[in-house]
Structure 1
């Protein structure tokens, strides 16, 4: 069992603040996203390398009393690798002066569960124990940004723990993994277990990141390239990987759980999938049902989706047509349409003027 950041080697603890707004957040109308909730009251367990609560953006987000350390003797707030702190920041980092970075659910609560130290592999059995701890601490969402391609059965300790979380009405979100450069579809775990929302990584063009693992288990994709997030001690750094796509989706799940507390976990998962955006129709092994759209997921839908009903295909953007091309085409149509309207008005005015002149001549 390994954590799966691609690791660009630029992270330092503590780090510098990113003054501007990171590109994934530039795509989100935060005022609209947070119109009804910022995730208050929702508890998200981060099963990872620990979550540092010294970073000012996470100090009020982390519930250390509910944490657990399966590696050492801390409460889960020691993070020597920094991986879990980045994951937690994407979900629930509080606003902070001097930076445009903030978590998608900045009033949610993080339960830190240190299951690996980032230097050695965390055993699948320990991850099962971490999931059970999250359930016991009342987690509404569990984020697991780790994976293994070693085949695991539903009857394995980890498979049974995931099944217990699903049965307890917990939204389980897991990264798809970063071994996808060869383009081959393969299962990774725990992402491929039934009931888990598996998240691939997308780039700025809403296409699969080259490293993102593809497979029939992929549910949705989310930004995973050049992702800004919090690091131990304060500040931020930039990293890439499906590890950081998963918490983006976990943040959306937290907002949905806060806005619609009556919804079951399966309905939250269905809503995230059915509101994702993608080229063409149907799902595929690279992006699943598409790239998650936080605002669209939170908009309306008071009744909640029927998770037993197959997801409907959205209207296609056009055969082989990329989003940018479509936007340019529509803009061209708008300009052309405006020109036709002006020409039509001018023609009518000319006809009326000619009629007036003929009446005066008569």
Structure 2
């Protein structure tokens, strides 16, 4: 059990965010290794009746394999359970971890496992299942091996989801250490919101895949989330950046149910925290800002404006040139005059008082032998 508030949530004013939306009733398909509902924070977040297990019952040798429940609620890897938690984990006593959209509903679709038995074909089938189950957001935290472009079936499934106004979010990939830009799939398909990973400094995580297809970045380093059976663990990768953004998409869809998928994506991109004006191949339009995405939303937009969102540096204000005496100097001079004048006045009054006293103490005038005294009164 993780007792504190994870850093990726500390960067968000959750009360302000949730005053706008909690993602209520928005359906988010998690296409992954399954989602274990035995974790208490996910038990009431998952709609098992809409889930599916699309892995074959037999391996390549024809041997029977237990792939778990047919509804996608078995996760022996833990990957899909962590992804689902970042999106919609319910609040729980004893932990500061919670999903960004704690009232959204997860559709669990098991399409991969520890042996990597998922294929582009089963991924396409998972997307079509999500469409049938009325998903409004689809999260795909995986890509094809070696960034190989798959057959057209996956592309057609993505296009079908977009035609149904579903926001499709995908991880950009974790092969960024070599510094080369390359396309990954399905993240680089047009219309998909590709998510890179950022660190605590809002910079690209070293492993995060870069490229012009990257839409935004989101926290992806030391990400706390739910695990099978119960409790939490920490993990890193763009796999956990994508659900952070999918959670924000669910919040927007709940607040603006009439917005198109393109408008939701543009809102997330437009309101991201930018380090440059425009698009960057490392973090896209910037690091997602959940609060701004939910509050700077007066009207829907179709695409981000390149220069908006970047704070423009202000030119230094030159000091005002004053000829002669400045106001501060004049005030200082007058204060000196007042102080000196007061001192002179005090000294003069003291002198007069002494003179009067001495005058009263002198003897009265008279003949010799006559004595007199003047009493002080």
Interval containing the TM-score (normalised by the shorter chain): 0.7 to 0.9
**One of 125, 132, 143 as aligned partner of 1:147:** 143
Partner of 2:227: 231
Once the 2 structures are TM-superposed, how far is the Cα of residue 346 of structure 1 from its aligned partner?
7.6
Partner of 2:190: 194
In structure 1, the gaps of 5 or more residues are 1-16, 319-325, 334-343
The number of equivalent residue pairs is 323
Alignment of 1:1-362 (within 5 A): 17-71=1-55, 72=67, 74-148=70-144, 149-152=146-149, 156-307=152-303, 310-316=305-311, 350=332
Once the 2 structures are TM-superposed, how far is the Cα of residue 280 of structure 1 from its aligned partner?
2.3
Partner of 1:7: none
Q: Is the 8 A contact 2:274 2:310 kept in 1?
A: no
TM-score (normalised: structure 1): 0.83
What is the CA–CA distance in structure 1 between the aligned matches of 2:264 and 2:239, rounded to whole Å? 20
In structure 2, the gaps of 5 or more residues are 56-66, 318-325, 345-377
Partner of 2:364: none
Once the 2 structures are TM-superposed, how far is the Cα of residue 302 of structure 1 from its aligned partner?
2.8
| Backbone CA RMSD of aligned residues | 2.6
What SS does structure 2 have at the residue aligned with 1:164? helix
What is the CA–CA distance in structure 2 between the aligned matches of 1:24 and 1:345, rounded to whole Å? 51
The alpha-carbon distance between structure 1 residues 347 and 275, as it changes in their structure 2 partners (threshold 3 A), is farther
Q: Is the 8 A contact 1:274 1:312 kept in 2?
A: no
The alpha-carbon distance between structure 1 residues 25 and 348, as it changes in their structure 2 partners (threshold 3 A), is farther
Once the 2 structures are TM-superposed, how far is the Cα of residue 314 of structure 1 from its aligned partner?
3.2
1:243-296 CA-to-partner distances (Å, cap 9, x unmatched) read 000000000000000011111110000000011112122211110111000001
What is the CA–CA distance in structure 1 between the aligned matches of 2:333 and 2:255, rounded to whole Å? 58
TM-score (normalised: structure 2): 0.80
The alpha-carbon distance between structure 1 residues 355 and 266, as it changes in their structure 2 partners (threshold 3 A), is farther
Q: Is the 8 A contact 1:159 1:193 kept in 2?
A: yes
The alpha-carbon distance between structure 1 residues 349 and 176, as it changes in their structure 2 partners (threshold 3 A), is same
The alpha-carbon distance between structure 1 residues 311 and 54, as it changes in their structure 2 partners (threshold 3 A), is same
Once the 2 structures are TM-superposed, how far is the Cα of residue 37 of structure 1 from its aligned partner?
1.6
The alpha-carbon distance between structure 1 residues 152 and 19, as it changes in their structure 2 partners (threshold 3 A), is same
What is the CA–CA distance in structure 2 between the aligned matches of 1:25 and 1:255, rounded to whole Å? 15
Q: Which consecutive segments of 4 or more residues in structure 1 shift more than 4 A? A: 344-361
The alpha-carbon distance between structure 1 residues 351 and 79, as it changes in their structure 2 partners (threshold 3 A), is farther
